[in-house]
Chains A and B, each alone.
Chain A
Amino acid sequence: DADVTQTPRNRITKTGKRIMLECSQTKGHDRMYWYRQDPGLGLRLIYYSFDVKDINKGEISDGYSVSRQAQAKFSLSLESAIPNQTALYFCATSDKDTPNQETQYFGPGTRLLVL
């Protein structure tokens, strides 16, 4: 079983719709992250959370919100989707208590198309 799962894997929605992307992890990690990948732009950090009560904005948080419902769950919401939010979205986790704490473990990604 995958350690970091994302649902849905693919989603098509219309401009103005609200959409939620979900991430779950079984690694027991405290830290969770949401990134988006666009062609030619690499991965850009949207939000990150170091524990259940901690939420921080990343490079490109405008138009997004997040919820850390539990240590294992971190959701990303687009309140009113727009076409330039079409991208590949990745969730990642890391563990502050391991020697290699800088390593992040990524989910398989959610491909989102906003029409």
Chain B
Amino acid sequence: DQQVKQNSPSLSVQEGRISILNCDYTNSMFDYFLWYKKYPAEGPTFLISISSIKDKNEDGRFTVFLNKSAKHLSLHIVPSQPGDSAVYFCAAGTYKYIFGTGTRLKVLA
């Protein structure tokens, strides 16, 4: 049974608009939640994280929101740029992480 789920395998957004990527989890004991971005033929790269004691973390165009009661987190990218086109993975845990299945984001110019 998957503990971390990304229910949207793909998402297309117009350049300049907001991209919202979603992630659901089942284990309320997770301490940290992370987002990674992956380009083809490369390893995932860390994007942004949030601790379970917070509900929002912002870094430039990227904001992660955590709703513990709903066991849901989301990544907002504003404004979206064509270079943001990649696969995005959410991950949850403490020093070892369970990854979601990924969402492929395509930002249209």
Answer yes or no: are A and B bound together in one complex. Answer: yes
| Chain A contacts to B: CB under 8 angstroms | 4, 31, 33, 35, 40-45, 48, 50, 56, 58-59, 90, 92, 94, 96, 100-109
- Indicate if the CB atoms of A45 and B97 lie closer than 8 Å: yes
Smallest Cβ distance from B30 to chain A, in angstroms? 11
- Indicate if the CB atoms of A43 and B96 lie closer than 8 Å: no
- Indicate if the CB atoms of B89 and A102 lie closer than 8 Å: no
| Secondary structure of the A contact surface, majority rule | strand
Q: How many positions in chain B have a CB within 8 Å of any CB in the partner chain? A: 25
- Indicate if the CB atoms of B99 and A43 lie closer than 8 Å: yes
By beta carbon, the residue of chain A nearest B44 is A106
Residues 1-29 of chain B, each 1 if its beta carbon lies under 8 Å from chain A, else 0: 00010100100000000000000000000
Residues 87-109 of chain B, each 1 if its beta carbon lies under 8 Å from chain A, else 0: 00101001111111110000000
- Indicate if the CB atoms of A108 and B42 lie closer than 8 Å: yes
By beta carbon, the residue of chain B nearest A9 is B41
- Indicate if the CB atoms of A42 and B43 lie closer than 8 Å: no
- Indicate if the CB atoms of B41 and A108 lie closer than 8 Å: yes
- Indicate if the CB atoms of B89 and A100 lie closer than 8 Å: no
